[in-house]
Structure formats: structure tokens, C-alpha cells
Amino acid sequence: MTWLWLIGAGLAIAVLAWVLRPLFSRKYAGALSRNEANVAIYRDQLRELDGDLAAGTLAREDYDRARAELEARALQDAGQPEAQPARSPSRSAGWALAGAVPLACLALYLLVGSPGTIEREAQRQATQAQVEGMVARLVARLRENPDDVNGWKLLGRSYGVMGRYDAAADAYAKAAVRAPRDAQLLADFADMLAMARGQSLQGEPEKLVMRALELEPGNLKALALAGSAAFERGDYAAAAARWERMLAQVEPGSEDARSIQQNVNEARSRAKEKPAAAAAVSGTVSLSPKLKEKASPEDTVFVFARALEGPPMPLAVARVRVRDLPYRFVLDDTMAMTPAMKLSAFPRVVVAARVSKSGTATAQPGDLQGASAPVANDASAVAVVIDSFVR
């Protein structure tokens, strides 16, 4: 089924590009018309399906099955209400992605045995019975193969589109049990659990978000949700700090960056703070080619800043995997180990990175390491190359 998830990944990337602008705009007030979006996408694919039937390259049985199954891509058009205005940037992100990707992915998932029909979808509306039948078939597949993590994810997205938030959260929970280190899965789980609990991220949803950020500090959805959780409880300074970290993930000066900055400014304004960002050092960590064979893709990488003159304790820490390198980092006060040891308190710092073979924060002989030259605590474009061993 590798081809299925490659196609699904491609669809996810396309949808992300489509929704990134409203994702971060607190002024986003309307839901997108799903029919208008889908018709343009699938018109050419329907013609291709009909052409294959006419040319004799597709059997009538396969054609009928493909058309019926793929019509289910209109899942949310079958009498479902349009999405409500987003309460925060993160809510827009979760639902824009949830509303587009599962429609195509679920139909593709159910089309095993007919690879010639992949990427062809019809444009007629599906009935509610067809939609429920499609989801029921996926549920049946998962009963036979309960360890199918991707299947549980897809079921969770589908239930989310249908507005069945409790069922969506339950499906994501089953996926998370089987893939506890999947940061994107945890962020999606948190989003659905929050919807099931009255659209509140407080409590367990926020804990899931923070776990996602531990695993993948740069995860956009997790950062957006973390900021929204802080905004929701009135911690506007923390919300601004979380959203500021998202700026490192988008092109400087782009419309997305401007939208995120507007959110940051709003949070700063509510906190009676100036829009100017707190101290944050950013740059890239990479692994020297000569040491690539000495590290496993799953090895833990600690990226941290320490004071040039002061205690050796890290001022801010991020944790990623070797597979994430080269990694674009942002270290700031929200990542401090203790309130008394913040990046902003020390004007000059050194940024270091270490590949931990044991996965622990304490350096061990055989670990790989690298460090920058001394830089200001708000420096950008800092380059850290992991190029030596811990002795």
C-alpha cells in the first residue's frame, strides 16, 4: 500500500499550500465552498475515467466500482453544513486539512485491486448512505487489521469531516497507541479531542500538543494549537511566543508570515506588550558528511543554547532526530529549562548540537557534537555543524 500513502502525502501537501493563509489569520471568517473546490479538481479525472472505458482499457465492472467508490469524495457535500468560522488560527488549520485530504485518501484506500483507477474521481454528489457505507467498509478493514495505523488516522479524519468528533478522537487514540512518537498524529488527535470537548484545548488536548512539540518542535500544527491553547486561557504572551516560532517555518516577507505576525501582534497587544519579539536565536543544524555513517536516523539530537559567560545549564533546548537534519531551529525563552535561566537574560550565547546515542541529555563518549561561534541571543542564520566526537 506504499503507493496509497505516497498519493495521500501529495494530496496533503497540496491542501496545506491551499489552506496555509487562512490557517494563521484570526480574521478568517468564512468557510470554503467544498463543491467549488472539488469540481475543478475532478473534472479532468472523470473525463479520463470515461475515456479509458470507451477505449476498452478499463473493464465495465472496474469502471462502475471506481465511480461509485470515488464519488464518496463529496463526503462533506452530502447534506453536511458548511464549516463554522474558525475560532483561532489552529482551528482553521485542523479543519481545512481534515476536510480535504481524507475524501480522496479514503476512496483510494478502498480501491485495492483496481490500481488502474487510482487518481480518477467522479464529480457527482454522494448520498449519505454511500458515505456511511464507505466509512463502514474502512471500519470492517480495521477490524481485520487493527494494527493499521494509517487506516486509523484516515478513519479519524473522515469522522472529523462528518462532525463525529467523539468517534474521530477515539480513532486517533487507537492510532496513537500504535504510533506514540508520531508528532503530526498527536497534533491531529489533540485537535479532534478539543472539538469533542466543546472546542476547548485545555487539559488533555494541550498535553497531547506539548508531547507533539517534544517530538517535533517545529511542527506547524502543534505550534498553532499550542498558541491557541495559551490564547484561550488568557496567556497572551505565551501565545505570541508560540506563534512567533512558526515564522521560522514560512518564507520571510510572505503573506503567510504577515498573517502570523498579525496574530503575534494581537496577542502581544492583549498582553500589553510591544510587538517586538523576545530574544530568539535561529539557524540551521547539519551533520557533517564524514560522520553520517556514525549516526542512525532514529538517534536523538539535542539543540541548545548556553550562556557564553555564566552557568553551563542550557538556556533553551529543542529535541529532534537525525532524520530531521538539516534542521532549522528557533530557540527562545519558551524553551527554557527553568524560569530563572532564560535566553533573554544572557546577551551572548553559544548554540550547540549533540547526537545522543543513548537518547539521554547527558553527554556520553561516542556521541557526536558541534557548536557555533559566540553569537548574540537574537542572532539569525546561525550555522551549527555536528563534526566531532564526545571524548
The grid coordinates listed for 155 are: 478513519
Question: Is the CB of residue 355 less than 8 Å from the CB of residue 303?
Answer: no
Q: What are the residues whose beta carbons fall under 8 Å from the beta carbon of 341, sequence distance 6 or more? A: 311, 313, 315
pLDDT tens string 122-168? 334 445 666 677 788 889 999 999 999 998 998 998 888 888 889 99
Residue 275 placed within a domain:
no
pLDDT at 2 over 90: no
Q: What is the pLDDT of residue 213?
A: 92
Per-residue pLDDT for 296 more than 70?
yes
**104 within some domain:** yes
Residue 96 CA to residue 94 CA, distance in Å, equals 6
Q: Domain for residue 334, yes or no? A: yes
Give the count of domains, the chain. 2
Q: Quote the cell numbers at residue 133.
A: 457505507
Higher per-residue confidence, 43 vs 332: 332
Do 201 and 332 sit in the same domain of this protein? no
Confidence of residue 118 (pLDDT cuts 50, 70, 90): very low
pLDDT at 219 over 70: yes
- Select, from the ranges 32-46, 87-101, 368-382, the one with the highest average predicted confidence (pLDDT): 368-382
Those residues with Cβ within 8 angstroms of residue 177's Cβ, 6 or more apart along the chain or in another chain: none
| Residue 350 binned pLDDT confidence (cut-offs 50, 70, 90) | very high
One domain, residues 284 and 246: no
More confident residue, 125 or 51: 51
Q: For residue 205, name the pLDDT band (cuts at 50, 70, 90).
A: very high
Provide the grid cell at 70. Answer: 470515488
Residue 325, pLDDT score: 94
**Does one domain contain both 239 and 284?**
no
pLDDT exceeds 90 at position 181: yes
Q: How confident is the model at residue 290, as a pLDDT?
A: 93
Q: In which domain, by residue range, is 225 found?
A: 2-270
Looking at the fold, whether 211 and 182 belong to one and the same domain comes out as yes
The grid coordinates of residue 286 equal 547539519
Asked if residue 255 belongs to a domain, the reply is yes
Whether residues 99 and 238 share a domain: the answer is yes
Whether residue 317 has pLDDT greater than 80 = yes
User: Which has more pLDDT, 61 or 196?
Assistant: 196
Of 59 and 41, more confident = 59
Residue 375 placed within a domain? yes
Instruction: Give mean pLDDT, residues 328-352.
Output: 86
Please say whether the dihedral angle defined by the alpha carbons of residues 177, 179, 181 and 182, taken in this order, is positive or negative: negative
Average pLDDT over every residue of 251-264: 85
More confident residue, 8 or 26: 8
- Do residue 208 and residue 349 come from a single domain? no
Q: Which of 83-87, 184-188, 259-263, 348-352 has the lowest mean pLDDT?
A: 83-87
As a whole number of angstroms, the distance between CA 285 and CA 304 comes to 11
Measured in degrees and rounded to the nearest 5, phi and psi for residue 6 equal -65, -45
Residue where a domain stops, chosen among 270, 290, 315: 270
SS3 (DSSP) at 67? helix
Coil vs helix vs strand at 123? coil
Q: 120 and 233: one domain?
A: yes
Residue 236 pLDDT > 60, yes or no? yes
Instruction: Give the pLDDT of residue 123.
Output: 36
CA distance linking residue 49 with residue 121, whole number of Å: 8
Burial string for 63-77 (b: 16+ CB within 10 Å, else e) reads bebbbbbbbbbbbbb
Asked if 123 and 42 touch (Cβ cutoff 8 Å), the reply is yes
225 and 258 assigned to the same domain? yes
**Region 258-268: what's the mean pLDDT?**
87
Same domain for 189 and 302, yes or no, is: no
Q: Classify residue 226: in a domain, yes or no.
A: yes
Alpha-carbon gap, residue 209 to 53, rounded angstroms: 47
Q: Is the pLDDT of residue 100 over 60?
A: no
Q: Output the domain CATH number for residue 205.
A: 1.25.40.10
CA distances from 145 to 136, 138, 150 (A): 14, 10, 11
Confidence of residue 53 (pLDDT cuts 50, 70, 90): low
Q: Are 360 and 337 in contact (CB under 8 A)?
A: no
- At what angle are helices 220-232 and 255-270 packed, to 10 degrees? 20
DSSP state of 365: T
Query: Buried b vs exposed e over 258-288: b needs ≥16 C-beta within 10 Å?
Result: ebbbbbbbbbbeeeeeeeeebbbbbbebebe
Is 209 within 8 Å of 91 (Cβ atoms)?
no
Asked if 69 and 193 sit in the same domain, the reply is yes
Neighbours of 122 (CB within 10 A): 21
Q: Per-residue pLDDT for 204 more than 60?
A: yes
Report how far residue 383's alpha carbon sits from residue 352's, in angstroms, rounded to the nearest whole number. 10
Q: Which of 270, 300, 319 is the last residue of a domain?
A: 270
CA distance 287 to 295: 9
Mean pLDDT of all residues belonging to the chain: 75
Q: Which of 270, 305, 330 is the last residue of a domain?
A: 270
Residue 81 inside a domain? The answer is yes
Residue 57 has pLDDT above 50, yes or no: yes
Query: Does residue 49 form part of some domain?
Result: yes
| Residue 190 contacts residue 212 (beta carbons within 8 Å) | yes
Q: Could you tell me the pLDDT band of residue 63, with boundaries at 50, 70 and 90?
A: low
In this prediction, residue 67 has a pLDDT band, given cuts at 50, 70 and 90, of low
285 and 264 both lie in a single domain? no
One domain for residues 294 and 368? yes
